[in-house]
Structure 1
């Protein structure tokens, strides 16, 4: 089929031939006799043959390009022919083989004659060894194809070693070697590269640009919106379901098509909008529908919603729980201990010893020949006053003088020896005396066994009244002085004998008013510490990437000097005691935060181990993937400009990849999904992955009181609406278990009141009054779970006990009761057995899911408004999720993780592009599953080159959601933690069946 290029070139060739003929004719007429030559005829024949070879190559290239586009080879077969094509680019190798074979067919019929001169064309060399593999390799060595032109929209084919054999009457005249090259404006490589790029983007991990990253961003946007709405009270039962994954996956697929193929199927936007409307009709969470539509780049229509979703990006975590816990611990007996240490003095005695002299002899044997039998030494020490004084210590050194003394110490040593000689014994005795002048200084300083920074105290041991009515450490100084004076002689002797080392403590009297003043100052500091906070990305909370406790601890350590507020010099010991209380309080807060940091590390290791054991990656992968989704500014859209200005027409079968079987897709659904909700308190029995991760973060034998209470409240409501007898029976069992736990916590609260001096009848009445607002066990349990009962108990005590009407005492009592409540909720005796909670939750989900299914079936017909009214809302109140650093009382957020796997398959992807000016038409590139065959050896039986694979993908990603701590949590609450689409695990028709059904042989019959 000629094209525009042929029409432009053939007339010039004809003109050239006419000129050659004219010249030959003129020469022949000028020559005479038998010397006339025929070489011009050979030259004309060669030129005509060359033009014919170029034309044959151009037509062979077009034919091969059309065949390659109709059935592109993507996977070579394990046959001699297929192995010969199994290089870096099977598609290009198959194209070059087709060009070589098509050209060979045409050259076989090429026969150019000019007069008696004949020119035929042959391809060489021929393979030396037999077999189709050798023929294929020889053909590939002769042909080379490349993409040329803008965006690779033209195709150049070059053939080496084409030989023109020139003969006259069967006798050879000449042989001419050609390497013709042609360019056809067919965008075969451009179309193939775009489909290949589309496949590569579909196969990439979420950590690189492509379909999985776009899907992750959309999943994150929708899941965060729906999860936050669920936390806010919207009736969202299934945060992320199959319908959501299907819809968001198709949106990501279309975006990937636009960026890689350069266009979309014209029907695709309409199909996506219709699917979005169908999903929105089943999602009744108000503004969540809009969020879902925005996350997929579609508009659902209708009036705009007024629902306002909370900010899902950051979470502010304060040091309030640690501050409360430290205040509760310090406001009791520990406060007295801190004050007592502050009013303790450390005393010591220093000695200066000088030797005055020595008198007496050294002794010896009575005479020559005497031998020593035994020896006894008696030493006596005595001390008497010495009139000279000593210099007292300088208080600037931190030590204050408490007393001085001088003593003369005399050491008298008597040596008695027994000697023997020739059976005779004799005793000798001699005495020597040594005298020492000893100066003693008794000094003291405030004890440093406190948390207060070391600073000098002005006149620490001098009676100097302070605002609390205290007298510094004067009483401790007097006590230390009396002890020193009573043992001055002994100290002087000990200084000579062994030296004076060590210190001792002397307790002073703590002023009676100091405790209340220190407590009031501590309450003021507590308010400041409570307001210290850090801002953390919720995505980092959901994956345990950041420990808020560690950041809070760092922030407090940076501000420690400012919070302790220690002066350069303490005015009195009471001032130092106040600072010691502040420092001890901060140490307690930091210790609590450090404990939470350590528990955070344990939770990280457990979650990582469980993810690995369940085959769902590891914690590092989860963090990287979820950061892609959360950090994406606009649901992961990438610029479509990479596809270039070349824009082919795109059509796909199916247009929309649904998770249900379609008539356009034989053999099954074109899209299959699996969605595992990892962190759910009660996993299905068959959900191994969910159960494994749940066991890592929960005690599988017990659950928290709040979880049991919320399950009880939801089951009571659903049982009242549906009248289900089995649910009512399970609810009764759970009610009794919750009631027992509430009673145990109430007893611990009364015990704390008893330790704070509240009488028996008063504390019983106070607790009973605080619980009067809630008339059922679930309400009382929830009040204990989120702590709202504690202020009521404090108010009731203040009404009955006058001393607790002071603000500082009320705050101290409140923090003590909060600490008691937190410890009680952690104890095994208060946690509820998992069995009744699990049985009730399962029955609740079954009943509510059945009702929901019936209502949802009618939702499209009756409208979302009725669905909102009739949906069993209590199901959405069932708790779900994992508390980050799951320790009651220090609850940053509730987190949950969804691991999503999406597998899909396009049965056919078609790209159409023009091939130049008419009448050349359109080049159609088709990717679908099928066997590619070609008659390589031209024996009528085509060899199998390999197969053309359908465009398919299999990606996994994850999203993690964190909401503030609260009663509902976040997670799928319909009891199906491992949600799989109907066609899981294989999308569409099997490759083998599809390949057999679509088997095609090339070249097609004429």
Structure 2
């Protein structure tokens, strides 16, 4: 018998021959089984097996999609799944079990022949792994939208009676129109994109891209005076997050959840209503206001009625110039003593004597002879007598020097050399005489290129007494002064020549100071004033966003621009036309050096400030400047377009997203609202940290520690702005009248809203701050008195009157404090002093600079700054009063009146916020603020349905759903389900930073509602 259960043909022939007589009757009535019957049984069973496999794969695909295993369970069945591919492994197991179940119904029976197909049962983990390995799956068809599955080693058996006459193993492969693998990959891609960082496409990038325009529009609106107390609130974060989620859905699946789109539209309208009333708590939005809502985010309010208004973009350029740095550098070099020293250097000349001695004949005598043996020399001296006669010739002048005067002489020198000897008991002297003749030249030379910072380009009228534009003598008096000092005072040329012949003349240079014209300093000062204005106007363009992320360093850029223009600003001629011109160039160079030094210092300090900024950001948010820069770049990254509809084996494969809830809200939801939820959940939770809150907060205090030695003081401008807000709230916060059109639009109605009386505590805190600021104002006024008295001829009493009259126009404490900080007080007091003291233009200019400098120096003294505690207390009280007033009035007004009322936001819109980018190391050219946003979310159920599937599926569709439920199936036919794993919910977490930069202005930009950290209910746990 062979391995197929068949008897060899030869043996069968012998048996038939031997038993032919006895078996003949039976053989004629029961014919033998033919080969055709067996093969037909095998073929039929193989075909049914193929069908069973197809049906099993289709069913398994549908069920695996409906309950996908994302995380394997720590169970006997779950451990059979590879942790890197749990979904595919679970699908392979499902295919095996479904096919095995269907094979039990596969069979063929005819002519006493039966055929069956089977797979081994699953009894333990080992056999489950073996079953999984029998199934191979992979995408098939166009774009991988179908499923190709192979089930290996299905056993086919053909029996006749109890005997197996045929056994075969087949491995059927089928392609099923179920996009289960494609849907799994798409949903996995969606999950990955939701959790991608800013360096990859996904939710975080889209969230950042949506938050930036919101923050900049609202930030610039607040800067422009619109009463926005909360620039970036959690309601904006929620709106941006859901818009980003829908965008990622479009790019991943080709379309987004339609219910989510509708909910986003509704949420946008509600957020607009919240913005109308200044960001109050949603609980105060009455149904009456909501019912009338047609309001969109407040673009029209921002523009103050200008339909063409739009806020700048982070990539737009802003100009920043040298500005006040030009004034401060000017004070470094243009003071009376410093400018006098700089101009005097141009009038200093070095002078010296140059000699040329040549021996004509003779020379010095030799050593006198010794008196004899045993005599020892004890002294040797030479004396000379000179005779000077006139001669001709000139001395060559060293390079870099020029001749002022000189002579040539012949000098005869009579030498006598005397030696003194001793032998111990006696002394004897011997003498040698000799005469020498010398030709000696002496020149008086000078140079005027070593004492000044101006290049030594020569002065065409150096010694021309009529060549100066100031009626000065240039250097014409240098020769006489040099001759007097080096020649006359030395005894005249004869004495110098005689000394030169014997090597005893000094040729060391001396400094000669030429006479300067009396108007030189004023002339040069006025020239520097013009140069200062040119330097002040030097500017560069920088991206607004990059200023806030410290990606650009404006002082460094300005330094480069100044260096590029320096040659033209110095305006050094090839040859000076006068000494005064050289003095002017020297002053210009000294001034430009001072500007460059200050810009370089500002550059270094901004780099240091960047590090401190980064440290504060990390401490308060966990983020960094690098993350901010990534966000700024990511918002400009082109986001992927909607995924095109792929073509499948049965046509286009379109998908539909069904999320529960479709809009992830910060509100508390329960399973009655959405059955997919598990009890009570918060689908979305957010944390929103405004880093530099009013009035600059703790983080800004750290950053301004370079301004003040301690953190218990703040800037006077901050205190002035806070005081102004408090005054406005107290003065105007009792009764407000608003009006609006009636419903039919034909008439107007007016509503007078009466607020509660301002709390005495609010007034008390305002008064304490006001007294503090008033004292500082008085101290700074005294400093101005001292400057006026020092820089002018006014007496102390006259100076006090000048300052009092100059400050008289600012009659409130906060107005005067603001004027003392922004330069207006210095300018006006300077104008009054100039008029009463009849000051020249340069004197008036210098007085203004000195007044500004003294105010700047004193304001930055730690002991002078207003107390931070008083500023914070008053600002907090102001905010509290305004919030209470607005909330009280909302329910009494129509929607239009609510908008008007919001614009009468009392004093809160005046409160300062944000971080001044520059002071004190450079001019204030911008204010920045940072919002660090963290978002976590989870869908109760997230399903994606494709329009293709097996015929057995409803309408031929395939639905892939993730709901967090456990996935369990009966793998061993014991009637109990074994847990494979869980269909994890779609969840995500993201964080990003948004930086807003506005021009310098006291109110700045930032949240002014007192909530430094805004956390939604349920934070930090989203979902189940």
- Per the TM superposition, whether the score is higher than 0.5 is yes
Tell me: CA distance 1:176–1:379, structure 2 relative to 1, closer, same or farther (3 Å).
farther
Pick aligned residue for 2:174 from 182, 188, 191: 182
Is 2:330 the counterpart of 1:322? Answer: no
Answer yes or no: is the 8 Å Cα contact 1:607–1:696 preserved in 2: no
Give the Å deviation of 1:573: 0.7
Partners of 2:707 and 2:932 in 1: CA distance: 17
1:997 aligned partner = none
Secondary structure in 2 aligned to 1:360? coil
Answer yes or no: is the 8 Å Cα contact 1:469–1:511 preserved in 2: yes
- Structure 1 gaps of 5+ residues are 1-30, 288-297, 990-1006
What are the residue-to-residue correspondences of 1:411-810 with 2, within 5 Å? 416=419, 419-420=422-423, 424=425, 426=427, 437-485=439-487, 486-487=489-490, 489=495, 493=499, 503-614=509-620, 616-629=622-635, 631=636, 637-641=639-643, 644=646, 646-663=653-670, 664=674, 665=677, 666-680=679-693, 682=695, 699-720=710-731, 721=733, 722-760=757-795, 761-804=797-840, 806=841, 808-810=842-844
Partners of 1:141 and 1:495 in 2: CA distance: 116
Tell me: CA distance 1:679–1:390, structure 2 relative to 1, closer, same or farther (3 Å).
farther
Pick aligned residue for 1:963 from 995, 998, 1022: 998
Partners of 2:554 and 2:868 in 1: CA distance: 30
Tell me: CA distance 1:587–1:359, structure 2 relative to 1, closer, same or farther (3 Å).
closer
Give the Å deviation of 1:392: 6.0
Give the Å deviation of 1:301: 9.2
Is 2:211 the counterpart of 1:219? Answer: yes
Give the Å deviation of 1:556: 1.0
1:121 aligned partner = 117
Answer yes or no: is the 8 Å Cα contact 2:275–2:298 preserved in 1: no
What are the residue-to-residue correspondences of 1:319-468 with 2, within 5 Å? 319-333=322-336, 334-355=338-359, 357-363=362-368, 366-368=371-373, 372=376, 375-378=378-381, 385=388, 387-391=390-394, 398-406=400-408, 408=411, 416=419, 419-420=422-423, 424=425, 426=427, 437-468=439-470
1:20 aligned partner = none
Give the Å deviation of 1:691: 7.5
1:912 aligned partner = 945
Partners of 2:439 and 2:585 in 1: CA distance: 43
Q: Deviations over 1:905-935 (max 9, x none)?
A: 1111111223358664222211111222233
Give the Å deviation of 1:697: 8.2
Answer yes or no: is the 8 Å Cα contact 1:737–1:832 preserved in 2: yes
Answer yes or no: is the 8 Å Cα contact 1:273–1:300 preserved in 2: no
Give the Å deviation of 1:213: 0.7
Tell me: CA distance 1:198–1:597, structure 2 relative to 1, closer, same or farther (3 Å).
same
Q: Deviations over 1:517-549 (max 9, x none)?
A: 222322222222222111111111112221211
Q: Which has the higher mean CA deviation after the structures are superposed, 733-742 or 696-705?
A: 696-705
Answer yes or no: is the 8 Å Cα contact 1:897–1:958 preserved in 2: yes
Q: Deviations over 1:373-396 (max 9, x none)?
A: x7445466777646344536679x
Give the Å deviation of 1:472: 0.7
Is 2:994 the counterpart of 1:987? Answer: no
Q: Which has the higher mean CA deviation after the structures are superposed, 302-311 or 455-464?
A: 302-311
Answer yes or no: is the 8 Å Cα contact 1:112–1:118 preserved in 2: yes
Answer yes or no: is the 8 Å Cα contact 2:251–2:642 preserved in 1: yes
Partners of 1:500 and 1:158 in 2: CA distance: 112
2:984 aligned partner = 949
Tell me: CA distance 1:495–1:557, structure 2 relative to 1, closer, same or farther (3 Å).
farther
Partners of 1:890 and 1:848 in 2: CA distance: 33
Secondary structure in 2 aligned to 1:283? helix
Secondary structure in 2 aligned to 1:559? helix
2:43 aligned partner = 47
Answer yes or no: is the 8 Å Cα contact 2:207–2:244 preserved in 1: yes
Answer yes or no: is the 8 Å Cα contact 2:716–2:866 preserved in 1: yes
Tell me: CA distance 1:541–1:857, structure 2 relative to 1, closer, same or farther (3 Å).
farther
Partners of 1:972 and 1:526 in 2: CA distance: 39
Secondary structure in 1 aligned to 2:598? helix
Secondary structure in 2 aligned to 1:600? helix
Give the Å deviation of 1:491: 8.9
Answer yes or no: is the 8 Å Cα contact 1:74–1:946 preserved in 2: yes
1:974 aligned partner = 1009
Partners of 2:548 and 2:383 in 1: CA distance: 79
Answer yes or no: is the 8 Å Cα contact 2:251–2:643 preserved in 1: yes
Q: Deviations over 1:493-537 (max 9, x none)?
A: 589759967533221221112233222322222222222111111
Q: Which has the higher mean CA deviation after the structures are superposed, 440-449 or 898-907?
A: 440-449
Q: Which has the higher mean CA deviation after the structures are superposed, 558-567 or 327-336?
A: 327-336
Partners of 1:383 and 1:899 in 2: CA distance: 94
Partners of 2:132 and 2:329 in 1: CA distance: 81
Partners of 1:864 and 1:967 in 2: CA distance: 27
1:267 aligned partner = 259
Tell me: CA distance 1:561–1:853, structure 2 relative to 1, closer, same or farther (3 Å).
same
Pick aligned residue for 1:98 from 83, 94, 101: 94
Q: Which structure has greater helix proportion?
A: 1
Tell me: CA distance 1:690–1:480, structure 2 relative to 1, closer, same or farther (3 Å).
closer
Partners of 2:266 and 2:1015 in 1: CA distance: 23
Partners of 2:318 and 2:1010 in 1: CA distance: 28
Tell me: CA distance 1:748–1:177, structure 2 relative to 1, closer, same or farther (3 Å).
same
Answer yes or no: is the 8 Å Cα contact 1:400–1:444 preserved in 2: yes
Answer yes or no: is the 8 Å Cα contact 2:971–2:977 preserved in 1: yes
TM-score by length of 2: 0.85
Tell me: CA distance 1:797–1:777, structure 2 relative to 1, closer, same or farther (3 Å).
same
2:290 aligned partner = none
1:237 aligned partner = 229
Partners of 1:748 and 1:390 in 2: CA distance: 67
How many residue pairs match? The answer is: 930
What are the residue-to-residue correspondences of 1:28-107 with 2, within 5 Å? 38-107=34-103
Partners of 1:643 and 1:398 in 2: CA distance: 85
Give the Å deviation of 1:885: 2.4
What are the residue-to-residue correspondences of 1:827-838 with 2, within 5 Å? 827-838=861-872
Tell me: CA distance 1:494–1:148, structure 2 relative to 1, closer, same or farther (3 Å).
farther
Q: Deviations over 1:603-662 (max 9, x none)?
A: 012112333344523222222223333x46xxx653113565643111111111111212
Answer yes or no: is the 8 Å Cα contact 2:355–2:500 preserved in 1: no
Tell me: CA distance 1:601–1:413, structure 2 relative to 1, closer, same or farther (3 Å).
farther
Q: Deviations over 1:885-904 (max 9, x none)?
A: 23176111011111110111
1:18 aligned partner = none
Is 2:157 the counterpart of 1:165? Answer: yes
Tell me: CA distance 1:431–1:847, structure 2 relative to 1, closer, same or farther (3 Å).
farther
Answer yes or no: is the 8 Å Cα contact 2:694–2:1006 preserved in 1: no
Tell me the C-alpha RMSD between the 2 structures.
3.2
Tell me: CA distance 1:988–1:704, structure 2 relative to 1, closer, same or farther (3 Å).
same
Give the Å deviation of 1:37: 6.0
